């Protein structure tokens, strides 16, 4: 069965599940996208890697990377091989220097690890036919990190640490200082938003 290579396009709020996020994968040679619903923790782990943030202490997926590399184990590829009742099934293909070993994994964890090991992500034509859609989304390289959801309606709005508007009037030096502070305090959602603003400034 032929494999189709995927890239991580970005993360956005899920429109169907409160408190969840949609991880969007795109086929490397084509227009189809695969949206996968994931939890907040996994979304944060992926967003941190997409933004190039360096936490002061290793997160779970960073620990897995360090552990594997210390014992000469490499993650060579991730395969999203099955879709059943809306659930994607994935395998980690690992190599210990002698043979390949396939390990079952949640797709969100598999993607977070693939980004850290810098290994390819594959799926099948069958899965793309079942779940692939063409959508209008941000260009590659402008992945949107998960942010705290704002309240709406008549209820009182809670303070939002990831409110982008508060950073627009700050200069680049102040933003970089806030970014360092956020990473040091392990406030990764806030750090992701500040990093987005810095990237926008530098691209102008």
Helices 188-203 + 172-184 axis angle, to 10: 160
The tens digit of pLDDT for each residue in 55-108 reads 888 899 999 999 999 999 999 999 999 999 889 999 999 998 888 999 999 999
Q: Evaluate if residue 169 carries a pLDDT over 90.
A: no
Q: Are 77 and 34 a contacting pair, CB within 8 Å? A: no
The tens digit of pLDDT for each residue in 122-149 reads 999 999 988 877 654 444 344 444 443 3
Q: What is 159-197 written as a DSSP string?
A: P-TT-GGGGTTS-HHHHHHHHHHHHHTT-HHHHHHHHHH
Task: Give the whole-angstrom CA distance, residue 184 versus residue 175.
Answer: 14
Residue 204 DSSP code: -
Structure tokens given for 140 = 């590659």
pLDDT class of 4 with cuts at 50, 70, 90: very high
- Residue 150 burial (CB count, 10 A): 10
pLDDT class of 197 with cuts at 50, 70, 90: confident
Q: Evaluate if residue 18 carries a pLDDT over 80.
A: no
The tens digit of pLDDT for each residue in 21-60 reads 889 899 998 888 998 989 888 998 999 999 888 888 889 9
Q: Evaluate if residue 151 carries a pLDDT over 90.
A: no
The tens digit of pLDDT for each residue in 106-115 reads 999 999 999 9
Task: Give the whole-angstrom CA distance, residue 5 versus residue 154.
Answer: 46
Q: What is 94-113 written as a DSSP string?
A: EE-SS-EEEEEEEHHHHHHH
- Cα torsion 16, 45, 145, 30: sign: negative
State the average pLDDT for the chain. 80
**pTM attached to this predicted model:** 0.70
Taken in order of first residue, the domains within the chain and their CATH numbers are 4-131 (3.10.690.10), 164-203 (no CATH)
Secondary structure of the chain: what % helix, strand, coil (to 5)?
35, 25, 35
């Amino acid at each position: 069965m032929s494999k189709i290579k995927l890239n991580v396009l970005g993360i956005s709020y899920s429109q169907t599940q409160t408190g969840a996020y949609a991880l969007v994968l795109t086929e490397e040679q084509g227009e189809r996208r695969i949206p996968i619903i994931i939890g907040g923790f996994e979304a944060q782990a992926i967003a941190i890697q997409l933004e190039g943030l360096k936490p002061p202490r290793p997160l779970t997926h960073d620990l897995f990377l360090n552990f594997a590399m210390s014992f000469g184990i490499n993650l060579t590829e991730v395969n999203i091989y099955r879709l059943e009742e809306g659930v994607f099934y994935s395998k980690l293909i690992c190599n210990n220097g002698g043979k390949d070993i396939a390990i079952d994994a949640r797709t969100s964890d598999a993607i977070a690890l693939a980004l850290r090991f810098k290994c390819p992500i594959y799926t099948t034509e069958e899965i793309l036919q079942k779940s692939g859609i063409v959508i209008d989304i941000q260009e590659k390289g402008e992945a949107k990190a998960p942010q705290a959801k704002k309240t709406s309606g008549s209820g009182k709005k809670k303070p939002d640490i990831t409110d982008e508007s508060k950073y627009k009037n700050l200069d680049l030096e102040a933003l970089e200082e806030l970014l360092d502070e956020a990473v040091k305090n392990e406030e990764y959602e806030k750090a992701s938003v500040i990093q987005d603003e810095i990237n926008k400034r530098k691209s102008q």
